[in-house]
Structure 1
Amino acid sequence: MASDKPEFLQEAGPAAWRLAAQVVTAVGQVLLWILTGIGRLLKPLTGRLVASLYGRSTPPDPSHRAPGGTMYARPGAAAPTPHTPPLLRWLHAWRRFGRSWWYGPVTGAVLALAALFEIPLHHRQAVSLLGGFALASTVPLMFRRESLRPAAAITLGALAASLLSGQPLLATTAFAALYTLFLLAQQLPRQSTGVLGVGSVVAVGVVYVASGSLDGIPWPASLVAVVAALGLGDARRTVETAEASMDEERERNSETLTRLNAVQREQAVLRERARIARELHDVVAHSVSMIAVQAETAPYTMQTLSPEAKNGFAEIAGAAREALEEMRRLLSVLRAEPNAEPAEVTPQPRLDRLNELIDSHRGAGGEAQLRVNGAVRPLSTTIELSAYRIVQEALTNARRHAPGSRVRVELDYLGDRLAVRVTDDGSPVPVTRVENRTKAMGHGLVGMRERATLLGGRFAAGPRAEGGFAVQAELPVGQNRRS
């Protein structure tokens, strides 16, 4: 059925709506411009106000920056004292006050004094029936932490008696009653809180019917205030229960993570020891196999040997072969780990290959220098292998945690030990990464420490005072010679 309205009337409605929308948009845009301009004018003032309340973050002192960009404290310099913003100081002071034993007596006494000062505003004397009811409704709150339920009974009963006797309602006594309901709902079970709510609503209804003390307050407002006080108390109890549960959960998670980290570290130690044992097996196996071969070939190369000497060489070869079999059996146990790394089949590296290691580090984008001090002399294969692996792991950690830094490798041939030192000067990486470097390099440091400890040496690693990181190891050599 066609519309009876003229065509211009049908189009006038949408046009009027679009025009009204444009007018509203224009007015709103003008208001936004005005508010934006006011905000820009007040921005310096608000910035100073916020800075005075919350504090202003100050940039770090450039004198504490290491040459490579890493932040370290200067040697002997006192640590800067952190500045607490005023607002946080006030909040901390209030929290300390709230946790103190005199919080309840002080706040209750202040509320009682406020009630006495409010009584003259209603043209009544402080020493009167209203004053007695006011004190009875506020003074018990001084003991609310020790005996909440008896104090609440006195407070609510005194207020109900005051209203039923026709006394005017004081703002302080009304606040005391609502606060008491809040505290009860915060501590009582939810079922008891429901019973308390029903009783409070009935009591408010009885006061409205039996006296005119609340005639100036609409009854819906009174009911909403009572229900709101109980609801806020119940919500607070729920929040506190949830926070307690979260704290317990965080504590359990922390304990679990601590145990997990301990297990992971123990597994890393075991894996590194197995790896070191495999490498040492390869070294010792080579030497023992050489002994066996020499002992077996001696009777054929030396024709003048007596039968007793030939038997001695045979026993040496047999003992060497048995030792090799025992080492292979032990190594098979180590290699039985499900996640064990495959053993190397190439010859184990020694210190004469350090230049190749330095060149590979440079090829990966790093800077490294090698310096050798003292009289270079041949050492045992185990000592040279351990020193090589320590330098290799230190260079790997430098590339991983301080990319682009300059690394210095030093070998000191001392009388009874070989000192290995690998240092870097830091790198322009985030400060938090460098500060947590010791933790992040956990497994690498474990391997280096295990190598030094198994040989009876010493090991140390950590940040340097002038910036960067240092790895130091001392391996005892005694009278060892190249095997």
Structure 2
Amino acid sequence: MVTRNDQTDHAPPLGQDLAPHAWRLSGRIVAGVGQILLWIITGLGRLLKPVTARITAGLYGASRRPAPRGPGGTALYEAPGPAGPLPRWIGAWREFTESWLFAPLTGVAMTLAALAELAPHDESPVSVAGAFAVAVTLPLVWRREFLRPMAAVVLAAYAASLLTGQLLLVTTTAAALFTLHSLARHLPRPSTGMLAVGGVVTIAVVYLAGDGLDPLPWYAAVLVLLAAIGLGDARRVVETAERTNAEVRERNTETLTRLSVVQREQTVMRERARIARELHDVVAHSVSMIAVQAETAPYTMDDLSKEAAQGYAEIAHTAREALVEMRRLLSVLRADAGSEPESAPQPRLERLPELIDQHRGAGGHVDMTVQGEVRGLSTTVELSAYRIVQEALTNARRHAPGAHVRVELAYLNDRLAVRVRDDGAAAPTMVLDPTGGAGGHGLVGMEERATMLGGRFAAGPADSGGFVVEAELPFAREENPRS
């Protein structure tokens, strides 16, 4: 018997066991009420979406999406017309609401409205009712800077006014509900649950000890209280989700940007390695000729001094070393083994008619014109011009099949101008796929060839339709015509 009494004395109180469960249950009830209200509002919004879309289009104008840009910054299509009349006013209002001026003005307006609401009831502003009205509404001026102290003053003054039997004013009730909504919007979920429990307890005390809420049924007061707190909590959840989604989108955008930069750098490196392999044949041929002529000079020249023979030997030795170093450099720059053998002869401009015939044989329509005095250029300039025309024709077949293509070569005083234009509609993939597909040079490769020679390159939609590729390849003035 004594043992049972000892156990009874040490048992925890019943309220201590129920407090955590009641606290969790209150938070879930508040969240549930807020979620139900959000579902109702969302459903009404979906039902009214066609009507609101038309009204929004009339007020804001048609939706404006940024037009994609081509390589030269040219828009692929025209942007929509001007926006409607409201965007700038809405923007100004948002700036105003985010400024320090908005809260003071609304707080003062609420205070004046509360005092004006007392006038029909023969209540002077200098009275107990006026003091409570000011105490409930005026602290809203500082709700941005000091939310929790402001809320404590507002809610305490409102509860005291109800307990002392003051008039139930619409303005002060709205101020109290707005304060509860703001607290629930900024407080965490557990604190919101405690706020709801405290609000319900306060309402019960007011109904039992005073007559301030007698004009309202008790269930209506509880429902309005839970609705204000629930909407604030739901708004906090939505804002948190929006911030999380915005952070995720920002991280994804940064990742895609970095991947795009890395992909472009890899494309540039591959194209440079491809150009290096092509130029290897050109330079290796010239250096080999130097080595051969230097080695054979002592056998083809009579009365050659010992110093001259030694000089020719040094030239041959240096040329052979240069060939070895070039092969080593080429092995470092090689991007993919097995593409384009090193010993393949590199094309020059004299082979452009063959390229034109190949394009016509594939069903394309192409014309070529040459302006200026045709002259022999360096192998690097002619090879770059040939490759640019080749890739432009390939892109025309891929993205504008059946379009008429015009190839123009212009021999100017200090540069060779290359222009390839088709009259078909340029597909967006011309811009979005700068590499031109697997194995192709693409826009990046053409640009690398032009900039390697110190020239200029541009590509994009033409003004009158189609797609145009332009390149200017400078060359030395002292180059002699090729025999």
CA distance, structure 1, for counterparts of residue 213 and residue 365 of structure 2: 86
Instruction: Name 2:339's counterpart in structure 1.
Output: 342
CA contact (8 A) 1:422 1:472 kept: no
Instruction: Name 1:235's counterpart in structure 2.
Output: 234
CA distance, structure 1, for counterparts of residue 474 and residue 130 of structure 2: 88
Q: How does 1:261-276 map to 2 (within 5 A)?
A: 261-276=260-275
CA distance, structure 2, for counterparts of residue 223 and residue 216 of structure 1: 14
The offset of 1:281, in angstroms, is 0.4
CA distance, structure 2, for counterparts of residue 132 and residue 323 of structure 1: 97
Percent of paired sites with the same residue = 61
The offset of 1:388, in angstroms, is 0.5
Distance 1:48 1:191, change over 3 A: closer
Instruction: Name 1:83's counterpart in structure 2.
Output: 83
CA contact (8 A) 1:452 1:459 kept: yes
The offset of 1:227, in angstroms, is 2.1
CA contact (8 A) 2:62 2:80 kept: no
Is the aligned partner of 1:377 residue 2:370? no
Is the aligned partner of 1:441 residue 2:440? no
The offset of 1:277, in angstroms, is 0.7
The offset of 1:292, in angstroms, is 4.7
CA distance, structure 2, for counterparts of residue 220 and residue 361 of structure 1: 83
Query: Which residue identity lines up with residue 178 of structure 1 in the other structure?
Result: L
Matching residue within 411, 416, 419 for 2:417: 419
CA contact (8 A) 1:368 1:408 kept: yes
Instruction: Name 1:176's counterpart in structure 2.
Output: 175
Query: Which residue identity lines up with residue 366 of structure 2 in the other structure?
Result: A
Is the aligned partner of 1:212 residue 2:211? yes
Distance 1:48 1:152, change over 3 A: closer
CA contact (8 A) 1:407 1:422 kept: yes
CA distance, structure 1, for counterparts of residue 77 and residue 184 of structure 2: 53
CA contact (8 A) 1:457 1:476 kept: no
TM-score computed with the length of structure 1 as normaliser: 0.74
Instruction: Name 2:389's counterpart in structure 1.
Output: 391
Residue 273 of structure 2: SS of its match in structure 1? helix
CA distance, structure 1, for counterparts of residue 77 and residue 59 of structure 2: 30
Which is further off, 455-464 or 343-352? 455-464
CA distance, structure 2, for counterparts of residue 209 and residue 249 of structure 1: 51
Instruction: Name 2:61's counterpart in structure 1.
Output: 55
Instruction: Name 2:425's counterpart in structure 1.
Output: 428
Distance 1:99 1:312, change over 3 A: closer
CA distance, structure 2, for counterparts of residue 46 and residue 340 of structure 1: 61
Q: How does 1:48-447 map to 2 (within 5 A)?
A: 52-55=58-61, 82-84=82-84, 86=86, 88=87, 91-119=90-118, 123-127=121-125, 128-292=127-291, 318-335=317-334, 337=335, 339=336, 342-344=339-341, 346-425=344-423, 427-428=424-425, 433=428, 438=431, 440-441=433-434, 444-447=442-445
CA distance, structure 1, for counterparts of residue 81 and residue 356 of structure 2: 43
The offset of 1:159, in angstroms, is 1.0
Cα deviations across residues 145-182 of structure 1 (Å, max 9, x unaligned)?
12222221221111111110112322221111111011
Query: Which residue identity lines up with residue 83 of structure 1 in the other structure?
Result: A
Query: Which residue identity lines up with residue 343 of structure 1 in the other structure?
Result: E
Instruction: Name 1:20's counterpart in structure 2.
Output: none
Residue 369 of structure 1: SS of its match in structure 2? strand
- Structure 1: 5+ residue runs without aligned partners? 1-42, 59-69, 74-78
Query: Which residue identity lines up with residue 61 of structure 2 in the other structure?
Result: G
Q: How does 1:2-13 map to 2 (within 5 A)?
A: none
CA distance, structure 1, for counterparts of residue 453 and residue 200 of structure 2: 82
CA distance, structure 1, for counterparts of residue 314 and residue 94 of structure 2: 83
CA distance, structure 1, for counterparts of residue 119 and residue 420 of structure 2: 83
Residue 368 of structure 2: SS of its match in structure 1? strand
Which is further off, 222-231 or 251-260? 251-260
CA distance, structure 1, for counterparts of residue 337 and residue 168 of structure 2: 81
Residue 272 of structure 1: SS of its match in structure 2? helix
Query: Which residue identity lines up with residue 52 of structure 1 in the other structure?
Result: G
Residue 165 of structure 2: SS of its match in structure 1? coil
Distance 1:418 1:256, change over 3 A: same
CA contact (8 A) 1:184 1:233 kept: yes
Give the total of aligned pairs: 414
Residue 216 of structure 1: SS of its match in structure 2? coil
- Structure 2: 5+ residue runs without aligned partners? 1-49, 65-74, 436-440
Cα deviations across residues 298-344 of structure 1 (Å, max 9, x unaligned)?
788x6978796887776665554443333222222222x4x456233
CA contact (8 A) 2:61 2:82 kept: no
The offset of 1:463, in angstroms, is 4.6
The offset of 1:212, in angstroms, is 2.0
The offset of 1:93, in angstroms, is 4.3
Residue 420 of structure 2: SS of its match in structure 1? strand
CA distance, structure 2, for counterparts of residue 257 and residue 451 of structure 1: 27
CA contact (8 A) 2:403 2:422 kept: yes
CA contact (8 A) 1:72 1:465 kept: no
The offset of 1:446, in angstroms, is 2.8
The offset of 1:118, in angstroms, is 3.2
CA contact (8 A) 2:460 2:468 kept: yes
Distance 1:57 1:261, change over 3 A: closer
Query: Which residue identity lines up with residue 104 of structure 1 in the other structure?
Result: A
CA distance, structure 2, for counterparts of residue 270 and residue 363 of structure 1: 33
CA distance, structure 1, for counterparts of residue 225 and residue 376 of structure 2: 91
CA distance, structure 1, for counterparts of residue 268 and residue 130 of structure 2: 77
CA RMSD of aligned residues (A): 3.6
Distance 1:57 1:324, change over 3 A: closer
CA distance, structure 1, for counterparts of residue 187 and residue 456 of structure 2: 63
The offset of 1:126, in angstroms, is 4.7
Cα deviations across residues 265-304 of structure 1 (Å, max 9, x unaligned)?
222222111111110001222333445556667788x697
CA contact (8 A) 1:357 1:392 kept: yes
Query: Which residue identity lines up with residue 454 of structure 1 in the other structure?
Result: M
